[in-house]
Amino acid sequence: MHNLKSKKLISLRISTWIWRSLLLTTILLLISIALPAELSAQCAMCRATVENNFNNGDYSTGMGLNSGILYLLLMPYILIGTVAFFWYRNNKKNSGKTQRTIRFTSGN
């Protein structure tokens, strides 16, 4: 009886997590659709500023912009890699402690 309760609890936690993830994704999608189109025009403004500074002999703005782009590009990969590393290390540490058996039963 105790095992059945724990299975239902785990199922409920997974179901709750899925619904929360779906809700968060939907909210983020609606927010991104609702934002004004002018926000995506900043790339053109940055390009115009860098071209203007480059023509006037100032190269530091372009170098700073390139550094910022690289920083923004690498940050998600660093974060995902860190989470994946700790997740792998935690699973590796716990795999020797317990053996888990998955049994498929009918819904009765």
Express each pLDDT in 7-46 by its tens digit. 665 666 667 777 788 888 899 888 878 876 655 556 777 7
Domain range list for the chain:
1-35
Neighbours of 39 (CB within 10 A): 8
Give the C-alpha separation, 47 to 108, whole Å: 64
Q: Angle of helix 42-55 relative to helix 60-95, nearest 10 degrees?
A: 130
Give the whole-angstrom CA distance, residue 16 versus residue 26: 15
Query: What is the structure's pLDDT at 78?
Result: 92
C-beta separation of 52 from 62 below 8 A: no
Residue 101's pLDDT band, with cuts at 50, 70 and 90, is low
Q: Is 56 helix (H, G, I), strand (E, B) or coil?
A: coil
pLDDT digits (tens, 9 = 90+) for 54-86: 888 888 877 888 888 888 888 999 999 999 999
